[in-house]
Amino acid sequence: MDAAGHRHRARLVTTPRHVPLPLAPLFGLALLLLGGCAGGPEPVTTIPEGDFRERLEVQERDGVRITAGVPSASEVEALFDDALYDRGIQPVWIEIENGREQMISFLPVGLDPQYFPPLEVANLDAGESTPPGELLDPFFLEQRMRLVVPPGESLSGFVFSRLDEGTKAFNVDVFGEGHFATFTFFIAVPGLHIDHYNVDWASLYADDEWRELDEEELLNGIEAFQCCVTNKSGESTGDPLNLVLIARPTDVYTAFIRAGWDETEAITGSSSWKTVKSFVSGNNYRYSPVSSLYALGRPQDVAFQWTRENIHERNHLRLWMSPYTYQGVPVWAGQISRDIGVRFTKKTITTHKIDPQVDETREYLLENLAYAQSLKAYGYARGVGKVDQDAPRGNLTGDPWFTDGLRLVLWLSSQPVAIADLEYLDWRRPAEE
């Protein structure tokens, strides 16, 4: 800042010098084409750092071309001379090229219904004594994304959205005379150490372990999965494996992000400290690490969580990719439970308490993904074994659970599927069901 208190901020260069090929989403990049073929993919361990303009993604349809990028926390602070991430604000850069013969309008509400106008961001520190004339900040006004794009022209700028670390999911909606289009982006943002970045996908299974199944073999394979997760040694069993997903990794990724689920950080010094602070304060840490549970001989490959009021109340979901494929699409085993509080234990000092009615959480996921239009089909299969409410089993920390014994089988979709088009597969179910 100079002697008069003005910030030194260079004019942002918002038009990229070049646009690389779109960055494939996270672990989906490694396994996009994985199906019944032998061999594993190369591992994906991180997303690139550096200038956000090197991480731009592009989509084009019906004469409209959208380019989008999301700066990291450090990049935002350098660009705007303000730690906006610490304030819960995340600028999203977009460029709209209008190749149509009519003007089109950009709808920022589609990107974030609670977006921040540029002058609100500029005046976060404004006090009651701030003169009205100083509320007008030409720098932030210059950086904003304008709403109307004339035919044959392009405009670019920032939309100041609410913060989503890890993966930023958003829509860019445009409309004009007789035209409306939605472009959905899933952009990885540097800053968090997401757990599945560390998975060595190429080494999960040997080439000769992959097996393509027909429908009967699929049902038999689902029923043959172990009933429950275990501890590392495999000597103790815990929560039931009550889910099966049939999806390419990009389908898993986009379906859950679209439905509002958050990724989880790996256990590091930084994430552990954030977890402790959230535990003590009761605040919400959306990306808090989850404990390792074991199935198929290893801890979970991927974990998602649905946070509610605070860190004590979350839905946890863990996934393991199996060596099976069906119609060329990978089959995953999964476990879901709902945290309803915290209690003290002799073994781990503190642990989350789960809702004993684990089927309710399983059905919640079905409805959640259906409403998010992330499902193509669903059905049920045996596998866990019925556990009566009067004689519940316990998980690895002693919490009781009971179930009808079924596994929910979900076909995920990267593209939106209306609920009316959702297919139900009438598979094997116990007679009483």
At 366-417, the pLDDT tens digits run: 999 999 999 999 999 999 999 999 998 888 888 899 999 999 999 999 888 9
CB 144 within 8 A of CB 156: no
Question: Per DSSP, which regions of 163-313 are E strands?
Answer: 167-176, 179-188, 211-213, 228-230, 237-240, 243-246, 262-263, 294-295, 298-299, 302-307
- Of 149, 147, 62, the closest CA to residue 110 belongs to 147
Q: What is the pTM for the complete model shown? A: 0.70
Supply the pLDDT for residue 25. 38
* pLDDT of the residue at 11: 42
Q: How far apart are CA 255 and CA 417, in angstroms?
A: 11
Instruction: Report the alpha-carbon distance of residue 349 to residue 261 in Å, rounded.
Output: 28
Tens-digit pLDDT profile for residues 206-254: 989 999 999 999 999 999 999 999 999 999 999 999 999 999 888 888 8
* pLDDT for position 20: 35
Task: Single out the residue of 62, 121, 69, 63 nearest to residue 95, CA to CA.
Answer: 69
Query: CA-to-CA distance for 430 and 394, rounded, in angstroms?
Result: 23
Question: Chain-wide mean pLDDT for the chain?
Answer: 80
Q: What pLDDT, on a 0 to 100 scale, did the predictor assign at position 262?
A: 83
Q: Does the pLDDT of residue 14 top 80, yes or no?
A: no
Question: What is the CATH topology of the domain spanning 48-188?
Answer: Immunoglobulin-like (2.60.40)
Q: Tell me the residue ranges of DSSP E strands in 313-368.
A: 314-326, 329-345, 349-354
Which residues partner with 95 through β-bridges? Answer: 67, 156
Q: What's the pLDDT score for residue 367?
A: 95
With a cut of 90, say whether residue 34 has pLDDT above it. Answer: no
Give the model confidence (pLDDT) of 160-190 as tens digits. 999 888 788 889 999 998 889 989 898 888 8
Residue 40 has pLDDT above 50, yes or no: no
Residue 1: alpha-carbon gap to chain centroid: 38
Q: Distance between CA 18 and CA 115 in Å, rounded?
A: 28
Structure letter (DSSP) for residue 144: B
Q: How many Å apart are CA 87 and CA 243, to the nearest integer?
A: 37
Categorize the per-residue pLDDT at 285 as very low, low, confident or very high, splitting at 50, 70 and 90. low
Residue 15: pLDDT over 50: no
User: What are the boundaries of each domain within the chain?
Assistant: 48-188, 195-425
Predicted local confidence at residue 155, as pLDDT: 94
The 8-class DSSP code of residue 274 comes to H
